[in-house]
Amino acid sequence: MTFSNVSSYNFETDTWNTQPALFKNRCYHTCTRLTDRSGDGKQYVVVAGGFSYDGSNWSKVDEVEVYNIADNAWFNGPVMPDMPFVSTMFKLDLHYYSFNPSNF
């Protein structure tokens, strides 16, 4: 099964909250937090890759979706050249890295 549901946890109130759904159902994706470096400090969640299931077929997802926390809305990011799944994404300096299994 693949999902598009998104929830956030509030540490202060110890509660889970429903957020806007992803555009594309997916599983086995990777995600990370991004902070805008333009000076305003906006926070984003980046979700990339994974697999989608339409009820009969699995397909790779190369789309990237970005959640703007302040606006409570998703927008499409740039398509990744190498679709990540079951991988890790992290930030180092001004770059984001995704390490993916190969030959899938």
The beta-strand segments (E) located in 1-104 are 6-10, 15-19, 30-35, 43-48, 51-53, 58-60, 64-68, 73-76, 88-92, 95-99
Each residue's pLDDT tens digit, 87-99: 666 666 666 666 6
How, if at all, do strands 43-48 and 64-68 pair? antiparallel
What pLDDT sits at residue 1?
60
Each residue's pLDDT tens digit, 22-80: 999 988 888 888 887 777 778 889 898 888 988 899 988 888 999 999 999 999 998 87
pTM: 0.79
